[in-house]
């Protein structure tokens, strides 16, 4: 236990790839939390997927003990490294709620980008002390002085206080440590007040049950204490406490201001929600902590196990993932084409992709994911409002008064030579221009309103192409607005494939109708009979394609009675068919269910 005034809790925030995790490496090294020989790059990115993709997906908390040369005292520094991608901004806001300060990292060659700005706002909302740091000054393209001006423009403050470092070489990183100690205030709570601990993260351990990551705001918690979880109103007995070092490190008590973990043999995952407050059952706090506003999923997709027997496995896997990813939403649904699955809500496409990948890697589940869509508000003629999370649920057009779709307010930071191209893209995506602001003499921030449905798929890739990689994008939900939307259905040999229905703008129905039909024609293998694919609006067919039947299979020589080989070949083909779904008598490969994503606009 450290005396409270020697504790510092902070997050590292930045736009994606500006070097948060690398700075965390250097801090861990400087404080001796990781021995030199154990060091690997971005050591906190310990998930296989994070390492492969070189990005942070989950916030990672870690405790460092640091003897400050300036005053000879030992400090407990709790660092939370956060992800930079816009899909995971919810992770950032949760992390910030457990801290008193934030290190804002800005890349010296890229300068301020879209998530730099949005993260600054998040930190300010949480009343955090912000320590601005310019990173990668070792790069030949570094412009630390320009970038410093950009930062002051947004954040205010004294330009000389900005620390210029190279997280790669370690240059000036010790200055970051001193600033943490000097500028970030120690936690305020009282060790004697009734216990209030914020659950800011959690994960599921096969043997120990749910492990809670908490920030103790008030009070003291000891092993053996009976705790109460506010939201679920459930009691548990603490059987282990500890600090979040690179590995978990046991201790006997946690006290106000500290960050650590709790194990209390919690087996029911649903009882331990991130954002909930932990208190003691014998002397409970009166009020819970403010907690988190729930992360609202923006995109929805049906996840179906390729093997229908794995429906329950998928449910329990989703529950376990949710524990460690509070922004994941799901509820059961069924599809005529795909059987039983879950409609899942995500913060964005990367979030969806990562979730699918984790279900595969961590739980061995092969999934078919339907094309993602946004959530629509459907106003019926009788005044009722329906919230539609999957296109096939859209009622008959005659019953609908009007449909509303989510609009986001988006900010794009770009060098000004690309403004023309970007505005063209925005126009094609039904976007509305709002304003331009200068970030520095060469770069602007475009403010726009765009339908979310138009940006979730390939908008970002297009933006990067148009701006040769220079533009960055940030967005957040603004409001629902009426739009002229229509449901497009797909029929295969006359059977409607519910999982392929989509909601599109009425002016684009022919475009989508033709594209989806020709894409499916490419993807559906030829069968022993003719297959007709149609796109329709209501009863009206707007596009059609024919897949000619297969005429012949190989007539190779039989290897002197090698029947086994022939049978194995057949078995292999059959295994291939497992990845197919039957719609009527037609085999449809899994890729077909997200064919729309591969359509070029």
Partner 1 sequence: MLKIHLPETIFKNFISNLDFCIFADNNIDMNHFYIHIPFCRKKCNYCAFYSIRYDETSAKRFLDSLLKEISTTGSRFFDKSQEGKDKLDTVHAKTIFFGGGTPSILDANDISKIISAIEKNFGVEKFDEATIECNPESISLKKLLIYRKSGINRISIGIQSLGEKFLKFLGRIHTKEDALSSLDTAFESGFDNVSADLIFGIPEQTKEDILRDIDEIISRGVRHISLYSLTPERNTPLEKMVATGRVKLPSSDELAEIYYAAAEFFKKAGFRNYEVSNFALPEYECLHNLAYWLGDYYLGFGPAAHSFYEDKRWHNINSLEEYVERLTNGALPSTDCETIGYKEKFEEFIMIRLRLADGFSIKEAAEI
Applying CB under 8 A, the residues found at the interface with partner 1 are 548, 550-564, 566-567, 570-571
Give the binding range for Mg ion (CB under 5 A) out of 52-60, 309-317, 443-451, 529-537. 52-60
Between 44 and 285, CB nearer to ligand GTP: 44
Whether the Cβ atoms of residue 480 and residue 452 lie closer than 8 Å to each other? no
Q: Which does 135 bind (CB under 5 to 8 A by kind): ligand GTP, partner 1, Mg ion, none?
A: ligand GTP
Between 120 and 216, CB nearer to Mg ion: 120
The reply on whether position 82 binds Mg ion by CB under 5 A is: no
Between 44 and 500, CB nearer to ligand GTP: 44
Q: Which of 223, 184, 216, 199 is nearest to 276 (CA)?
A: 199
- Hey, which residues does 380 pair with through a beta bridge? 400
Find the shortest distance in angstroms from Cβ 393 to partner 1.
Answer: 40
Q: Which does 556 bind (CB under 5 to 8 A by kind): Mg ion, ligand GTP, partner 1, none?
A: partner 1
Find the shortest distance in angstroms from Cβ 20 to Mg ion.
Answer: 5
Find the shortest distance in angstroms from Cβ 439 to ligand GTP.
Answer: 19
Q: Which does 558 bind (CB under 5 to 8 A by kind): ligand GTP, partner 1, Mg ion, none?
A: partner 1
Between 250 and 526, CB nearer to partner 1: 526
CA distances, 129 to each of 107, 144, 342 (Å): 20, 22, 41
Question: Which letter does DSSP use for residue 102 in this model?
Answer: E
Pair of tokens at residue 143: 């412009």
Between 507 and 571, CB nearer to partner 1: 571
Identified binder of Mg ion from the candidate list 11, 56, 135, 467, rule CB under 5 A? 56
Identified binder of Mg ion from the candidate list 6, 11, 21, 322, rule CB under 5 A? 21
CA 268 to mean position of chain CA atoms: 24
Sorted by sequence, the CB contacts under 8 Å of residue 263 that are 6+ apart come out as 205, 208, 209, 211, 212, 238, 239, 240, 241
Q: CB atoms < 10 A from the CB of 466, how many?
A: 18
Between 21 and 534, CB nearer to Mg ion: 21
Whether the Cβ atoms of residue 472 and residue 446 lie closer than 8 Å to each other? no
Buried b (16+ CB within 10 A) or exposed e, 510-524: eebbbbbbbbbeebb
Q: Which of 363, 368, 358, 295 is nearest to 326 (CA)?
A: 295
Find the shortest distance in angstroms from Cβ 81 to Mg ion.
Answer: 6
Give the binding range for Mg ion (CB under 5 A) out of 15-23, 203-211, 297-305, 457-465. 15-23
The residue number whose beta carbon is nearest to ligand GTP equals 84
- Hey, which residues does 346 pair with through a beta bridge? 299
Residues that bind ligand GTP (CB under 6 A): 14, 16-22, 42, 54-56, 83-84, 135-136, 138-139, 166-168
How many Cα atoms occupy the beta-carbon half-sphere of 400 within 13 Å? Answer: 20
Find the shortest distance in angstroms from Cβ 528 to partner 1.
Answer: 12
Question: Which letter does DSSP use for residue 93 in this model?
Answer: H
Residues 286 and 564: their CA atoms lie apart, in Å, by 73
Sorted by sequence, the CB contacts under 8 Å of residue 190 that are 6+ apart come out as 218, 219, 256
Residues 383 and 378: their CA atoms lie apart, in Å, by 10
Q: Where are the alpha helices (DSSP H) in 325-458?
A: 349-363, 419-428, 452-455
Find the shortest distance in angstroms from Cβ 356 to ligand GTP.
Answer: 19
Between 27 and 486, CB nearer to ligand GTP: 27
Find the shortest distance in angstroms from Cβ 559 to partner 1.
Answer: 7
Between 70 and 556, CB nearer to partner 1: 556
CA 335 to mean position of chain CA atoms: 26
Between 54 and 308, CB nearer to ligand GTP: 54
Find the shortest distance in angstroms from Cβ 45 to Mg ion.
Answer: 6
Find the shortest distance in angstroms from Cβ 577 to partner 1.
Answer: 14
Q: Which of 62, 404, 505, 41 is nearest to 245 (CA)?
A: 62
Q: Which does 167 bind (CB under 5 to 8 A by kind): Mg ion, partner 1, ligand GTP, none?
A: ligand GTP
Residues 401 and 130: their CA atoms lie apart, in Å, by 49
Binding residues vs Mg ion (CB under 5 A): 20-21, 56
């Amino acid at each position: 236990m450290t005396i409270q005034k020697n504790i510092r809790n902070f997050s590292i925030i930045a736009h994606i790839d500006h070097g948060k995790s690398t700075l965390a490496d250097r801090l861990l090294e400087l404080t001796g939390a990781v021995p030199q020989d154990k060091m690997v790059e971005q050591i906190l990115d310990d998930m296989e997927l994070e390492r492969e993709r070189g990005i942070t997906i989950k916030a990672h908390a870690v405790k460092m003990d640091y003897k400050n040369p300036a005053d000879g005292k030992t400090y407990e520094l709790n660092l939370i490294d956060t992800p930079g991608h816009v899909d995971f901004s919810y992770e950032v806001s949760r992390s910030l709620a457990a801290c008193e300060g934030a290190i804002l990292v800005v890349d010296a060659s890229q300068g301020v980008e879209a998530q730099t700005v949005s993260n600054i706002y998040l930190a300010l909302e949480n009343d955090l002390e912000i320590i601005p740091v310019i990173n990668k000054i070792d790069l030949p393209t570094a412009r630390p002085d320009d970038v410093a001006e950009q930062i002051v423009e947004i954040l205010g403050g004294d330009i000389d206080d900005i620390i210029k470092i190279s997280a790669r070489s370690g240059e000036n990183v010790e200055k970051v440590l001193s600033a943490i100690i000097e500028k970030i205030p120690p936690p305020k709570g009282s060790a004697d007040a009734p216990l209030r601990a914020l659950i800011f993260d959690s994960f599921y351990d096969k043997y120990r049950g749910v492990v809670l990551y908490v920030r103790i705001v008030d009070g003291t918690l000891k092993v053996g204490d009976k705790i109460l979880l506010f939201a679920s109103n459930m009691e548990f007995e603490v059987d282990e406490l500890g600090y979040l070092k690179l590995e978990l490190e046991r201790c006997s008590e946690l006290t106000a201001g500290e960050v650590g973990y709790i194990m209390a043999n919690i087996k029911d995952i649903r009882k331990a929600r991130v954002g909930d407050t932990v208190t003691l059952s014998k002397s409970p706090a009166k009020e819970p902590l403010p907690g988190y506003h729930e992360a609202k999923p923006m995109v929805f997709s049906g996840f179906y196990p390729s093997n229908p027997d794995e429906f329950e496995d998928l449910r329990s896997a989703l529950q376990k993932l949710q524990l460690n990813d509070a922004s994941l939403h799901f509820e059961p649904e069924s599809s005529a084409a795909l059987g039983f699955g879950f409609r899942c809500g995500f913060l964005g496409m990367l979030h969806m992709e990562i979730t699918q990948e984790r279900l595969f890697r961590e739980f061995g589940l092969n999934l078919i994911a339907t094309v993602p869509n946004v959530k629509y508000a459907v106003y019926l003629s009788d005044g009722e409002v329906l919230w539609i999370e999957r296109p096939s649920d859209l009622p008959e057009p005659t019953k609908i008064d009007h449909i509303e779709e989510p609009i986001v307010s988006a900010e794009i930071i770009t060098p000004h030579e690309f403004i023309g191209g970007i505005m063209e893209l925005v126009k094609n995506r039904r976007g509305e221009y709002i304003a331009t602001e200068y970030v520095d003499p060469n770069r602007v921030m475009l403010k726009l309103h765009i339908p979310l449905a138009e940006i979730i798929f390939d908008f970002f890739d297009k933006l990067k192409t148009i701006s040769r990689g220079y533009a960055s994008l940030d967005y957040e939900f603004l409001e629902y607005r009426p739009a002229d939307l229509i449901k497009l259905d797909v029929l295969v040999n006359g059977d409607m494939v519910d999982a392929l229905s989509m909601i599109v703008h009425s002016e684009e129905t022919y475009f989508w109708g033709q594209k989806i039909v020709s894409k499916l024609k490419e993807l559906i293998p030829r069968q022993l009979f003719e297959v007709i694919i149609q796109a329709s609006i209501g009863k009206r067919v707007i596009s059609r394609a024919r897949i000619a039947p297969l005429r012949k299979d190989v007539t190779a020589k039989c290897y002197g009675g090698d029947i086994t080989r022939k049978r194995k070949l057949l078995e292999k083909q059959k295994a291939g068919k497992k990845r197919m779904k039957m719609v009527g008598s037609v085999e449809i490969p899994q890729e077909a269910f997200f064919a729309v994503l591969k359509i070029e606009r």
